[in-house]
Amino acid sequence: MKAFKYFSILILPIVVYISFTSKGWLTHLPAIVFFGLVPFLEFFIKPNKENFTKDQEKIEKENKLYTYLLYLTLPIQIIFLIFFFYIIQEPNLTGGELAGRIFGMGIMCGVIGINVGHELGHRNNRFDELIGEILLLTSLNTHFLPYHNGGHHYNVATPKDAATARKNEWIFFFWIRSHFTSYIQAWKLENKRMKEANRYWFHHQNRMVIYTICNIILLTSIYFIFGQFVLLAFLGAAISGIILLETVNYIEHYGLLRKQNDHGRYERVKRNHSWNSDHQVGQVLLFNLSRHSDHHYNGSKHYQLLKTLPESPQMPTGYPGMMLLSLFPPIWFWVMNKKLKNLS
């Protein structure tokens, strides 16, 4: 069955488990696999440009295995987070070993907590959305859903969007601008929704109020149960996951802009307003997130149905490799600005 290839996501908890139970260089195994082995393999494995036929799409759309796999990530994420709270206290760990384990948990926060939370947050039923919210809570990134669904998908590829990187914008400044602006915008969107419903902003239906309370409860619980050191380690992992998210945001829409008419209205979102990647390894590990053009064209389409299309601008390699490249701005600009020029 086609769904089984996505079970390769289980490689991530396996390598993180090795990191958590090992010393020395093996504590860095998640980073080595995700940002070393995966980009290396994608240089040699042919990109996947196949789409489902209409008949296949009907079958795979009804296949619940794709969704059950997303559900499976929730207990995995929670178990590994609790496990992390214990193993990070192991005595005699070096600074490098601590960093390896924290970043390993951070990769889980980014790839499972935020990425799967993002996928489920687009679903049209409350159960899926709730699981997505819990996953995002494990990464302290609960504000993601109000802004992503209510702001980013409307304003993508315009100067109004916090999560669209501008041409020649350094990624390190983008991290700060995108994260904090999207947080502020999430509050504004929810407060506006409350006002339109004739409710005071401090209301149980204001998601940002509930999310903030949940974040405070989580952090306070970690502090009183496990102590200050574990709390700081968790913050390090959560921040790592958030940085991974913002790095993905950076590469997904870098330099792309929608056209504006004489009345100031932007053209509708098209498939040429997001960078695409058909490189298979990262694509499968990230639940087709790299078929991002089709995701923005139809945000409610489930991950297994996303298509690659000729009009979608293509990255030269997969997401993990492009994320690494973005950390070297002069080289990034040299590669991507030429691609932007070819598009225009």
Q: Where are the domains of the chain?
A: 2-343
CA dihedral 188, 189, 195, 196 (to 10 degrees): 150
51: pLDDT confidence band, cut at 50, 70 and 90?
Answer: very high
Quote helix, strand, coil % in the chain, to nearest 5: 65, 0, 30
Q: What are phi and psi of 139, to 5 degrees?
A: -115, 5
Beta carbons within 8 Å of 325's beta carbon, 6+ residues apart: 317, 331, 332, 335
Burial 303-320 (b: 16+ CB within 10 A, else e): bbbbbbeeebbbbebbbb
Q: What pLDDT score does 96 carry?
A: 98
Q: Each residue of 265-304: pLDDT tens digit? A: 999 998 889 999 999 999 999 999 999 999 998 888 999 9
Q: What pLDDT score does 9 carry?
A: 96
Average pLDDT over residues 162-190: 98
Average pLDDT over residues 115-139: 97
Q: Each residue of 191-240: pLDDT tens digit? A: 999 999 999 999 999 999 999 999 999 999 999 999 999 999 999 999 99
Q: Percentage of the chain surpassing pLDDT 70?
A: 100
Q: What pLDDT score does 256 carry?
A: 96
Q: What pLDDT score does 13 carry?
A: 98
247: pLDDT confidence band, cut at 50, 70 and 90?
Answer: very high
Instruction: Report the C-alpha gap between 118 and 325 in whole angstroms.
Output: 24
Q: What are phi and psi of 264, to 5 degrees?
A: 85, 5
Average pLDDT over residues 3-24: 96
Strand partners, 276: 314
Through-space distance between the first and last CA atoms of the chain, rounded to whole angstroms: 40
246: pLDDT confidence band, cut at 50, 70 and 90?
Answer: very high
Q: Each residue of 65-101: pLDDT tens digit? A: 999 999 999 999 999 999 999 999 999 999 999 999 9
Average pLDDT over residues 47-67: 92
Average pLDDT for the chain: 95
Whether residue 100 contacts residue 87, with contact meaning beta carbons closer than 8 Å, is answered with no
